[in-house]
Amino acid sequence: MTPRTPSPRGRRATILDVAAAAGVSRQTVTRAMNDMAGISAGTRERVQKLAAEMGYSPSRFAKGLVQGARISVGLAIPDLTNPYFPAFASSVVEAATERGWNVVVDDYGHGTGSAVDAAARLAPQVDALIGYLVPHPDEAQSLMGRRPVVALDSPDAGTAGGISFDYHHAARLALTHLVSRGCRSIAFLDSDQGGPSASRSAAAAAVAAEAGFHLARFQAHPSAAAAKSAVAVLMAGDNRPDGILAFNDLMAAGALKALQESGIPVPGDCAVIGMDGIPLGELLTPELTTLSLDLRGVGRAAVGLLDGLLTGAIPDRSPEAHLTLRHQLILRQSA
């Protein structure tokens, strides 16, 4: 029998394709690919050869259905010391557990680790992957093969699915509010780590340009301590801002501490807005105004999207496989 040619680019070879090419049942392909009893050695070898030629391999998800195993999902996180990521991770675990899935977490953001390192460690263990994978989402998908990857905060990723955030909307909410309360010299306290920083910074600059004012930008490591030092230096200079939009809530917390130690009233002389909406913001003095994400909703959206990709209800790389979520401006005492 002449083997069927591999499936066209953009379409996976399925178990039905292999069965049709081999002239056997779907159950026979399952037995051949999982080395199960009940078929001859010749049939097993022929099916496996055709599957290889067609680029088909059963995922661990499919094997789990045959063998009764639970689905295992990898979760790649860049820094569990940042309160944003444990909040997100807990929502993923909650939604996955409701489905009877296991979650394997890899915190790659320490030392020389990277997203691609996390994907390489997780790939042999899991059926699918969710994660913050900048700047390596496509490499992660390559390592996972046909198993779906849901990349967060990577709008141009070539992964099976993804969740992005509308930073233009967020920046417009924050900057409009600062201007409305009389701020005229606004600065963006940015992360020096690249990745999502570039998207947030570009969005803030674009919104400021649309509104007709210049947005100053200064950088620090995305931690409270580094932000505190950077803001202290900024406020000791001649060009003190009267409004600060921070890359994340941790950096905003550092900014508040620096302003307090410098004797600068907040929000009277300098208003501060953070981003992400972690619970820490409500414990600060003054309480932090922030661009808040529903972190529980983000995690559940990622798991729901992955569920659709695994079952085939959502086609890989389709418009339905890429979601865009929006922040809300939560007004508190700092702005």
Interval 58-67: pLDDT, tens: 655 455 545 5
Nearby residues of 151 by Cβ (< 8 Å), 6 or more positions away: 131, 132, 133, 137, 140, 141, 157, 159, 161, 162, 163
The token pair that represents 189 in the structure block: 């306290």
What pLDDT shows up at residue 4? 43
Lookup: tokens for 258 = 């620096």
Helix, strand, or coil here: 289?
strand
CATH 3.30.70.1290 for the 167-292 domain, yes or no = no
What pLDDT score was predicted for residue 205? 94
Residue 290: is its pLDDT beyond 60?
Answer: yes
Instruction: Taking residues 65-77, report their average pLDDT.
Output: 76
Phi, then psi, of 12 in degrees rounded to 5: -75, 145
pLDDT in the model for residue 5: 44
- Mean pLDDT for the stretch of residues 271-288: 95
Half-sphere exposure of 238 (CA within 13 A, CB side): 0
Residue 63 confidence (pLDDT): 54
The domain segmentation of the chain, as residue ranges, is 15-58, 71-165+296-326, 167-292
Instruction: List the alpha helices (DSSP H) in 128-191.
Output: 137-144, 167-180
pLDDT at 241: 96
Which CATH class name applies to 71-165+296-326?
alpha beta
The 3-class SS string of 180-217 reads HCCCCCEEEEEECCCCHHHHHHHHHHHHHHHHCCCCEE
Cα atoms in the 13 Å half-sphere on the side-chain side of 76: 33
Which stretch of 106-110, 247-251, 272-276 has the lowest confidence by average pLDDT? 106-110
Between 187 and 68, the higher pLDDT residue? 187
Query: Residue 249: pLDDT above 90?
Result: yes
Task: Let me know if the fold of 71-165+296-326 is the same as that of 167-292.
Answer: yes
> CA 129, CA 131: separation in Å to the nearest integer?
7
Can you name the residues that pair with 62 across neighbouring β-strands? none
Q: Is 18:54 a contact under the CB 8 Å cutoff?
A: yes
Task: State the pLDDT at residue 62.
Answer: 52
Q: Which of 36-50, 102-116, 194-208, 319-333 has the highest mean pLDDT?
A: 319-333
